[in-house]
Structure 1
Amino acid sequence: MMAIPQSSIIALSLMYTKLPPSASDLTFWATPPGNAISFNEAVQAFSTSSAAKAAYPMLASPIVLSQNAAARRDYVTQAFQNLYGIAATAINAEELTYWADTYLLSSPQAIFDFPVVLNQFSPASRQQALTNRAQVAENFAVALAATGSSTFTSAQYSSGWGIVNTVTADAATVTAANAQIAQFVAGGGGGGGQTFVFTTALDNLPGTPGNDTFNGDNSGGLAQQTVQLGDVANGGDGTDTFNYFGPTDNVLPQLSNIENVNLIQGSGNNAGGTNTAAFDFSAAAGKGLKSVTVDTLVLGAATTTTTIQGIGGVGLTLKGNFNNNNLTANFGNSATEAQIATNAVNKGGTLTVQGNKLTTLNFTATGSSTFTKLVTTPVDAGAVNTIKVSGDGKSLSFSDNVAVANSIKTIDASGLTAGGLTVAFGTGITSFKGGKGDDIVRSNNLTTTTDSAVDAGEGTKDRLIVNTTADVNTTARANVYANFEVLQSTDQTVDLDLFAKSPFVALRSAGASVFNNVTATQAGDVTIFANATPTFNLKTATGTSDTLNITVSDGLEAVNNLTITNPTAPNVEILKFTTTDNTIVTTLLNAPSASTITATGAGTFNLTTGARELGTGFSIDASAVTANVTIDASAGNVNGAIIKGASSSPAAVNTLSGSNQNDGITGGSGSDLLRGNRGQDTLTGGAGVDQFIYGGGFANNKGTANVDRIADFVAGVGGDQFKFATGADQFLNGLNFTANATVNINTAQTIATAANIDDVFAGITAITASTNATLQTVLVTVSAGLAAGTYLYANNGTGAVSNADDFLVNVSGITGTLSVTPTTGNFIFENFA
């Protein structure tokens, strides 16, 4: 079945109701289910409508009035006027008699069909009048829709009919009517309305039939205060709005017929100098007020509290940046439910909701909103017991650490179609339903032990924060919580085996938390979100590749410093760190099996192994970190370490210290500091100006056992540097260098062949003995043999060459010519441990 033509619908509406249809009205007839209605069904609908009964007394009481000749004649003359603009005196007497005394008495249905039948049997010249009226009515609907009024107020219907009723079959009347439409819209009747501005004088502002806006600005202080208690604003018809700018100091005009109030950039720092303020809407609430919006609370010298009261039955919307200021909403003496919309509230302080009889809070969320806590303080004996949350918001947070009132038993956030709710439980919770997104819930010592009483729902990262160990220390208590994927603890002990209803896949830890029976999946996704001394006891730890993946992030925008103190992971062989925040790992003493450590991320990475055994192949690889890296394996024992610093960012500086065994240490593309300590270490500086550090006592640097190999030394001014320790015996025995010490490079030497380091020492010709003022060195080239290469030799305070006391380093990868220029050359002396 095809939809009834729009022109026919408009004509029926004019015939029967004297109401020019709005764009919304016409949309109904063009879309399901309206477009499935037949013409005869439409006639029946219009003729029996309340509007038709108001337009025609005959249709209101057809049985009684159809028996009255005068009433029938009135019905006919009214139809002629409404359809064609023809007055009663202009109707042909014979035709009037026929319709009144013959047709209307022909059947009961004839009374309802009469306007349609009249038009069907009218001459074309008369029908033209109805066609013209329908066209003007359509023009009226289009013009108002363009201003945002797709639905009409009663005043707009009335004004529209007033224009349509001037139209006849004469084309000139159509032109004149269209001009009236334009004038009506320009005057604000089209819904756009007018904007009224309060002045410093007392104002009495009457609105138009359209959607008016009233603006009052008290932000300039008393001298420029435009909104006063004596001001009057009457919105009239339409949907009207009062915008108030300035301090929330209880100054309201006398409002009536104004549906919406916006309090914008309010501040409790009002003229009286206090940090509390209030608006009382009791009077306006009884005169058409439907919603109050608090849009942004100004950052002041101190936290402020703004109170909105007298809003029983009025919707409250909160939006914008609250700058940590507090808001109290008082819903009065009779309301049992409160309607509160949250629209991207940033830095919301304490939200206090009051009401003598309030039992239910209904929140509608848009965007992401955060409050430091939710307080439901009764004005007298009332107590809120239910919270419902709906909307398409990404998140709504009432704080994850400050509990809601113990009187609250039910929290239902299942109406959140995209986001989740953050809430800390009081002890009274017996039912919780999460949203479609990720909820965050802090546990409490609940009275209920019903399985799945707290159901996080459909999110993929729903988080349960364990408030105290006792909340979840039995199977019954743990299984209250269902469908959570992330478990968080600060200083608590949690047995993950107790949770049969929540398939945890990730852990969050702070403080001295202990996690027992950790699965491989859970160990694969751990977040340290604050300073921590955590313990992770694996449920199953077999083989040599048990892995703990740790992301270090407090979740804040700024990059902060977080310290992991001696993490306990007794059976973990692989530790992986992601450094979103700057990360400090103080020691690995309580992770004795960890032998493969990797790090990646944009935060700095600082790790100390502590005095523990370094297993065979022990490695620390921070090459994927893009910030500074500090690794200290100096206390590690038994085996050496393979250490790699950040390599992907030239700005990253690596400070890498090996053990007292044979280490492999590799820097990156920045300017690094490499220190092998004792042992025969292999050092690779990489790009950048690198420093190779020798100190910490002569025992670290002397003789065959401590000959390092530097793979890529860049010689010359501005190149890599040897950094030797100042102080007595700090670099070589018997020498006490200062920062002003110099280096002398003696004539280079060549050794034909050497099979080992001792052979190299044996082949060196003695040079001048070093003094406290000058370190004597020489470059030695070994041409052949297993020890072939280039070496830098330095003697101690005696001239004889000693493989037990002198310094030797393999610099076979050297490029350029060594420079002894102070500060910028290749040798510097410095005081360091």
Structure 2
Amino acid sequence: MAITVETRTDIIELVVGMFDAAPGASVLSELATSVDAGLSLKDLAITLGNSSVFTAEYPTFLTNTEFATNYLTNFLGGNPGEVSSANFTLAVDAVVALLNSGKSRGEVVYDVITAVSAVAETDTNFGTAAARLNNQTEVAVHYSVTTQQSGSTLDDLKAVIDTVTSDDATVTAAKATVDGSDNEGGTFTLTTAIDTLKGGSGNDTFIGAQNGATEGAQGYQTADNLDGGAGTDLFKITVTDATTAPLVSTTNVENFEIQTTVAETVNAANWSSPSSITNKQSTNTLTVSNVGAIGTVGVSGVTNNTSTTTVQYSASTTGDTTVNIALTNSSDAGAVRADNNTAGGGVENFVVTSVGTNKIAALTMGTDAKKVTFAGDGNATVTATLANATTIAATGAGKSSFSSAVAKVAITGAAGAETVTLGHTSGTAHEFSVALGAGNDSLTLTNLVLAADLTDSKVTIDGGEGTDTLTMKSALTEVLTNLSTTAVAKKGIANTWEVLKVSDQGAANDTVDLTKIGSNITTVDYAAGLGDAQDIVDLASGGTVVLGAAASAAGDTLTVGVKDANVAGSSSDVLNVKLDGSHAGADLDYGVLVAAAVETININSTTTKLTALVAADTNQVDLTAANAVNINVTGNVLADLDGAALTGNALATIDATGNTAGVNVTTAGATQGISIKGTDKVDNLTGGNGADAIVGNGGKDVITGGQGDDALTGGADADTFVFEAAATNGKDTIADFTMGTGGDVLNLSALTSAAGSANLTTIGSTAAQAMADNVLYITSQDTAGKDFGGADFADLFGAGKAFATTDTGASAANSFVIVIDDNAGSAAQLYIVDQSDGDAVDATDVTLVGVLTDVTASSFVAANFDLT
């Protein structure tokens, strides 16, 4: 029976996932024969997992955690590679758990590959990992099936998909490489003897290992002579011993690839005209000296930030020239230098082309450097400040991140997202130009605080298209605000920025005037939190204020002026507020937010914490917004809201149903009825003096109706309803009270002066009965209307009835509570009886404070009452 296309692709995907390599036509033929004979893919994975090829890559002496980490680093393209650090950790934990359960490594790898293959590429957690696997499989199919090529070594097969990531552009590039490799050359492995090797017309590969304790014991020798012949040839050097590298002579070998685990200098004096020199997955410092021709310097798969790459050109090769730096999936590499290693360096132009995601510690350049260009579809971050270059251009579609403090630097962007930091010092008149492109770009002015720091008419600060962020210190926003419109225009800030980020806590009365700094700005982000009283002038309705850290003091106040909010007839103004500090197991108090003329306030209570949230991670902000009608709360962090805003006469609704962590809110003092809706977590909701409608939803909520006749609904879980003193409580209606053990709780501590926990006496009739507890639960149907009016009063307090005489029990001369159940399991009424004015109970001593509707068919127990 012939194998199907689908099964063949599954075999190729399995090899890709297990070995980070294409199978090649010959290996694929063997594996397909086994599967066609009845071997399942899982059994094939188990067999391959026990093979010497697999155990050479992942030795059996590795612990389960070490194996999981090493395997996933290869499978995901790095640590964390194509996923976040948190998801990488989750994946490691999952693999370790499967191994600990007794599964073999081959079976666990099969499970991982199968799971990732089934993930949609749009998935926010592992979609990029799925895309990488799909893309690598596509290229492996092209190599093994379409062109029917076979590699000589595992390294050859790894190289087929080595540059393929989740980016579809890498598939096109890799296929083009495969299509160009039909003229496949030979593979030559150098020995401890003297080797004189000559390649043919194909693309030959020479392999040398520096692995001996002495030069003579190395896997290649100083007297070796390599001639690549025709084709595009490669010399691969692996260094595991720090002895002096042999001085090999090469002719017609274009590309050099070096991997070292020790600090090593390789002398290239006898390499004839190399086109490229690549640091390939090294974990230590690599220096290549005496390079006689300018070419491409590559850094590929380097993830150890101590791994500095230095390519030293001979003095005669440098001058007015350009060096290409090729970064490929090097997520955490050290500094890169490619010049003649003098103070000047001898190189004027550097072009950094990126594939995948890359970060290098520095791009080290001499004083001759004039220009740096960031190109390619991948992402590049240079951590250290770029020195000397007066022109920096981002031309590719990928993201680039870099900094400069060079005088008169000119920076331009393109379609990618650029993150630019300028480190010019304050106190000096600076000239520079930043004109970014169509991406979502960011520019940070790190130190500037004076108007004079920006030389009039000599500065350009332009975000271009996209959603762009301009970051500056609070003092600079203040001085720009205080300039005239004409004067601020000379500072070069184009009205092309959408987000203004304030990088530090401001001084008293620092102001952001968006009529001066940029009317196009719709978000103002106080990344460091408030430092004192701050102001925003003319933020557009629908704009956003971000508070990114706790205020310096709880009373620090931000006053937000929404554009035209005070204009007559303006009744639909909106302000969005985002609370997103980095929590550390404690509440963050963001201070006070004042927005006097805004009708709708939307609060997103969230966090920038990278690890899991804990219960103590909460957000607190005081609001003052007298005209607020609607307050909506979303996010994933508990929001603690209070302040004068919540007593405003206009306030109608507080809706926190979009929040997933909980809300604490009080409208105490508000005179109108307000609708308050809680979350599905634990909420603390307090109404005001009007007839409020409060819904707790899920969670064990604490609901206080306050004054007024309130409508209260607890929702799921056991909720606590808190009553005020009888004189102010009003008549609250509770819609879903659950009686019995584990049910809801009536907190009556404000209604009775008794101390201690609740005591419950159940009375089955209106006949005289001893009464010595604080809560009297009447189940009799003998009361006429069950409303404590008319004949009911006589039934309970008349001569010979249950409460005809003064109580002599625990509640003597105190208030006590009577609950009347209609015995139908659906309603109950709650009364407070105040005996403090005398011995006899009359109608003036009895007040209806609550009605319980839709009561569960059960009976009250002491735990349903809290008198403490």
Q: Does 1:252 align with 2:266?
A: yes
Question: 2:204 — aligned with what?
Answer: 193
Q: Does 1:283 align with 2:290?
A: yes
Question: 2:686 — aligned with what?
Answer: 657
Question: 1:271 — aligned with what?
Answer: none
Q: How does 1:60-71 map to 2 (within 5 A)?
A: none
Q: Answer with 482-491 or 569-578: which moved more.
A: 482-491
Q: Does 1:810 align with 2:851?
A: yes
Question: 1:405 — aligned with what?
Answer: 405
Q: How does 1:694-733 map to 2 (within 5 A)?
A: 694=722, 700-703=724-727, 705-724=729-748, 730-733=749-752
Is the Cα–Cα contact under 8 Å of residues 619 and 637 in structure 2 kept in the other structure?
no
Is the Cα–Cα contact under 8 Å of residues 599 and 629 in structure 2 kept in the other structure?
yes
Q: Answer with 432-441 or 351-360: which moved more.
A: 351-360
Is the Cα–Cα contact under 8 Å of residues 740 and 858 in structure 2 kept in the other structure?
yes
Is the Cα–Cα contact under 8 Å of residues 227 and 252 in structure 1 kept in the other structure?
no
Question: 2:493 — aligned with what?
Answer: 481
Q: Which of 712, 715, 719 in structure 2 is aligned with 1:691?
A: 719
Q: Does 1:820 align with 2:866?
A: no
Aligned residue identity for 1:747: T
Is the Cα–Cα contact under 8 Å of residues 196 and 215 in structure 1 kept in the other structure?
yes
Q: Does 1:528 align with 2:575?
A: no
Return closer, same or farther for 1:191/1:507 CA change in 2, 3 Å cut-off: farther
Q: Which of 425, 432, 435 in structure 2 is aligned with 1:430?
A: 432
Supply the distance in 2 between the matched residues of 1:717 and 1:707 (Cα, whole angstroms).
Answer: 25
Aligned residue identity for 1:709: T
Secondary structure class of the residue paired with 1:498: helix
Is the Cα–Cα contact under 8 Å of residues 664 and 682 in structure 1 kept in the other structure?
yes
Q: Does 1:746 align with 2:778?
A: yes
Question: 1:396 — aligned with what?
Answer: 400
Secondary structure class of the residue paired with 2:685: strand
Displacement of 1:615 in angstroms is 0.8
Secondary structure class of the residue paired with 2:515: helix
Return closer, same or farther for 1:319/1:794 CA change in 2, 3 Å cut-off: farther
Supply the distance in 2 between the matched residues of 1:449 and 1:440 (Cα, whole angstroms).
Answer: 22
Q: Which of 242, 245, 266 in structure 1 is aligned with 2:257?
A: 242
Return closer, same or farther for 1:529/1:764 CA change in 2, 3 Å cut-off: farther
Supply the distance in 1 between the matched residues of 2:583 and 2:329 (Cα, whole angstroms).
Answer: 19
Secondary structure class of the residue paired with 2:347: coil
Return closer, same or farther for 1:485/1:778 CA change in 2, 3 Å cut-off: closer
Question: 2:30 — aligned with what?
Answer: none
Question: 2:244 — aligned with what?
Answer: 229
Question: 1:645 — aligned with what?
Answer: 678
Question: 1:624 — aligned with what?
Answer: 658
Supply the distance in 2 between the matched residues of 1:516 and 1:298 (Cα, whole angstroms).
Answer: 45
The aligned length equals 593
Return closer, same or farther for 1:423/1:763 CA change in 2, 3 Å cut-off: farther
Is the Cα–Cα contact under 8 Å of residues 629 and 651 in structure 2 kept in the other structure?
yes
Is the Cα–Cα contact under 8 Å of residues 795 and 807 in structure 1 kept in the other structure?
no
Question: 1:439 — aligned with what?
Answer: 441
Q: Does 1:338 align with 2:356?
A: no
Displacement of 1:794 in angstroms is 5.6
Q: Which of 585, 606, 621 in structure 1 is aligned with 2:640?
A: 606
Supply the distance in 1 between the matched residues of 2:462 and 2:634 (Cα, whole angstroms).
Answer: 35
TM-score (norm 1): 0.62
Q: Which of 439, 461, 469 in structure 2 is aligned with 1:454?
A: 461
Return closer, same or farther for 1:733/1:211 CA change in 2, 3 Å cut-off: same
Displacement of 1:294 in angstroms is 5.6
Displacement of 1:355 in angstroms is 0.3
Supply the distance in 1 between the matched residues of 2:546 and 2:406 (Cα, whole angstroms).
Answer: 31
Aligned residue identity for 1:354: M
Gaps of 5+ in 1: 1-142, 149-180, 219-224, 269-277, 377-382, 725-729
Q: Percent identity?
A: 23
- Deviation by residue 1:678-712 (Cα, 9 ceiling, x = unmatched): 443211112x11312326xxxx2325743311011
Supply the distance in 2 between the matched residues of 1:392 and 1:410 (Cα, whole angstroms).
Answer: 20
Displacement of 1:410 in angstroms is 1.0
Aligned residue identity for 1:386: T
Secondary structure class of the residue paired with 1:310: strand
Supply the distance in 2 between the matched residues of 1:417 and 1:525 (Cα, whole angstroms).
Answer: 26
Aligned residue identity for 2:621: T
Is the Cα–Cα contact under 8 Å of residues 384 and 408 in structure 1 kept in the other structure?
no
Is the Cα–Cα contact under 8 Å of residues 216 and 226 in structure 1 kept in the other structure?
no
Is the Cα–Cα contact under 8 Å of residues 545 and 577 in structure 2 kept in the other structure?
yes
- Deviation by residue 1:500-532 (Cα, 9 ceiling, x = unmatched): 7x63343333433845441434x4344333345
Q: How does 1:299-310 map to 2 (within 5 A)?
A: 306=308, 308=310, 310=312
Secondary structure class of the residue paired with 2:389: coil
Displacement of 1:556 in angstroms is 8.6
Q: Which has the larger radius of gyration?
A: 1
Is the Cα–Cα contact under 8 Å of residues 733 and 805 in structure 1 kept in the other structure?
no
Question: 2:368 — aligned with what?
Answer: 357
Question: 1:791 — aligned with what?
Answer: 829
Question: 2:765 — aligned with what?
Answer: none
Is the Cα–Cα contact under 8 Å of residues 261 and 292 in structure 1 kept in the other structure?
yes
Q: Does 1:765 align with 2:796?
A: yes
Aligned residue identity for 2:647: E
Secondary structure class of the residue paired with 1:690: coil
Aligned residue identity for 1:545: S
Supply the distance in 1 between the matched residues of 2:183 and 2:410 (Cα, whole angstroms).
Answer: 54
Q: Does 1:315 align with 2:324?
A: yes
Is the Cα–Cα contact under 8 Å of residues 761 and 803 in structure 1 kept in the other structure?
no
Q: Does 1:577 align with 2:568?
A: no
Return closer, same or farther for 1:182/1:420 CA change in 2, 3 Å cut-off: closer
Gaps of 5+ in 2: 1-145, 152-181, 189-198, 552-556, 608-616, 762-774
Secondary structure class of the residue paired with 2:373: strand
Is the Cα–Cα contact under 8 Å of residues 232 and 253 in structure 1 kept in the other structure?
yes
Supply the distance in 2 between the matched residues of 1:622 and 1:718 (Cα, whole angstroms).
Answer: 26
Supply the distance in 1 between the matched residues of 2:396 and 2:794 (Cα, whole angstroms).
Answer: 84
Is the Cα–Cα contact under 8 Å of residues 374 and 400 in structure 2 kept in the other structure?
no
Question: 2:614 — aligned with what?
Answer: none
Return closer, same or farther for 1:411/1:807 CA change in 2, 3 Å cut-off: same
Is the Cα–Cα contact under 8 Å of residues 694 and 705 in structure 2 kept in the other structure?
yes
Is the Cα–Cα contact under 8 Å of residues 351 and 374 in structure 1 kept in the other structure?
yes
Supply the distance in 1 between the matched residues of 2:743 and 2:233 (Cα, whole angstroms).
Answer: 75
Displacement of 1:574 in angstroms is 1.9
TM-score (norm 2): 0.59
Return closer, same or farther for 1:771/1:212 CA change in 2, 3 Å cut-off: farther
Q: How does 1:68-217 map to 2 (within 5 A)?
A: 189=200, 191-194=202-205, 196-198=207-209, 199-200=211-212, 201-202=217-218, 203-204=220-221, 206=226, 208-209=228-229, 210-217=231-238
Question: 1:124 — aligned with what?
Answer: none
Is the Cα–Cα contact under 8 Å of residues 147 and 191 in structure 1 kept in the other structure?
no
Is the Cα–Cα contact under 8 Å of residues 614 and 640 in structure 1 kept in the other structure?
no
Q: How does 1:460-609 map to 2 (within 5 A)?
A: 460-467=466-473, 468-469=476-477, 472-473=480-481, 474=483, 475=485, 476-478=487-489, 480-482=492-494, 483-490=496-503, 491=506, 492-499=510-517, 503-510=520-527, 511-512=529-530, 514-521=534-541, 523-531=542-550, 533-540=557-564, 541-542=566-567, 543=569, 545-552=571-578, 554=580, 563-581=589-607, 584-588=619-623, 590-609=624-643
Secondary structure class of the residue paired with 1:450: strand
Supply the distance in 2 between the matched residues of 1:557 and 1:145 (Cα, whole angstroms).
Answer: 55
Return closer, same or farther for 1:182/1:534 CA change in 2, 3 Å cut-off: closer
Displacement of 1:544 in angstroms is 5.7
Is the Cα–Cα contact under 8 Å of residues 328 and 354 in structure 1 kept in the other structure?
no
Q: How does 1:20-99 map to 2 (within 5 A)?
A: none
Displacement of 1:353 in angstroms is 2.9
Question: 1:419 — aligned with what?
Answer: 417
Return closer, same or farther for 1:585/1:821 CA change in 2, 3 Å cut-off: closer
Is the Cα–Cα contact under 8 Å of residues 434 and 462 in structure 2 kept in the other structure?
yes
Displacement of 1:789 in angstroms is 6.2
Supply the distance in 2 between the matched residues of 1:685 and 1:760 (Cα, whole angstroms).
Answer: 33
